[in-house]
Amino acid sequence: MNAGRGGRWSVEVSDLNELVGGGDMGSMWLKIWNLSLEENDDGNCGFRLVAVGLGFEENQWAFIKQQHFQELDFNADLYKYVFNSYVSGSYDVLRNSINWQQIAPAPSEHWMFMPHTCLVIAQRFGVIVHLFNNRGAQSIFPLWTSANGLMRHNVVSVVHLGVHFINVSLQ
């Protein structure tokens, strides 16, 4: 890995494979933005990276959580069907994961619930979400929005490293 300016890292795919636990991810180069996780270790690093991935400032993470709530509540029946068909009770776990409004750091049950959170992000913001973790790579698309219904083609890429999340820009 090579450190760049402003907390940016250039990482070759072999380095990323090592970070997420193996697997061949092709021969692309990635730039990873480290969001000062040690300084902001309050359980909201995933929501911070989504804010940055969507073009907002890192400090707009609470807005991302609010949008998450609105999306889940507005389409509750659809999400309950989708998530609870996969694993019973998943909808409630997901909703609880974003239900933390305290000043104190969020405990682990209130961190982003993956990959479920990615689907809600994709649907709410009309984006494609790439998730990289120790299980490999997943691309998550909005379920009930057609490609023609999306205003712009935007991708949010996330590396989930155990308890931390890192925003990735694929190039």
pLDDT score recorded for residue 151: 61
Domain count for the chain? 1
Higher pLDDT, 158 or 37: 158
Single-letter amino acid, residue 23: G
Domain residues for the domain of 93 are 2-170
Distance CA 101, CA 57 (A): 19
Q: What is the pLDDT of residue 37?
A: 39
Nearest partner of 110 among 102, 122, 118, judged by Cα: 102
Q: What is the reported pTM? A: 0.72
Crossing angle (nearest 10°) for helices 61-74 and 45-53: 90
Phi then psi for 36, rounded to 5 degrees? 50, 55
Compare 159 and 24 and report the one with higher pLDDT: 159
Both structure tokens of 45: 């690093």
Question: Cα 8 from chain centroid?
Answer: 18
| Residue pair 137/71 in contact by the 8 Å Cβ criterion | no
The enclosing domain of 86 has a CATH number of: 3.90.70.80
Question: What tens digit of pLDDT does each residue of 21-56 get?
Answer: 444 443 333 444 443 333 456 777 788 888 888 889
Residue (of 171, 170, 156) closest to 47 by Cα position: 156
Strand ranges across the sheet with 155-161 = 2-3, 8-12, 29-33, 164-170, 155-161, 128-133, 136-140
